[in-house]
Amino acid sequence: MRNTGIKPDVIFKNFWRDNGHFASLFNTVVFGGKTVIQPEALKELDTDVSNLIKSGKYEESLTRARDVVKKAAHGTDFVILGIENQRKIHHGILHRA
């Protein structure tokens, strides 16, 4: 295989930044093929989704970044959707609480 200097992660990020691709993924997977998210309603957001968790005297900062994050507004309601590409299966991610 020839090394072109192009990283697969960059290719995936560019693909999913397209609002049509992004909306199609969520409409297919989450909404069973029903068109709920309109591509023109999506706005790209900062991929840094870090936050500070506080509970009583306990404080912890979590640093996270997603490959692509978008917001879809529906009147006064909105939803934030994110995609994280990965090359290998991480079985810990598959567990649901």
Q: Which residue has the higher pLDDT, 28 or 76?
A: 28
Domain chopping of the chain, boundaries: 8-87
State the burial class of residue 72 (Cβ atoms within 10 Å of its Cβ: 0-12, 13-18, 19+): buried
37 with 72: CB under 8 angstroms? yes
Q: How far apart are CA 9 and CA 86, in angstroms?
A: 8
Measure the CA–CA gap between 52 and 81, rounded to whole angstroms: 20
Q: What is the pLDDT of residue 94?
A: 55
Listed range (5-14, 22-31, 45-54, 82-91) with the worst mean pLDDT: 82-91
Distance of CA 37 to the CA centre of its chain: 14
Section 18-33 average pLDDT:
93
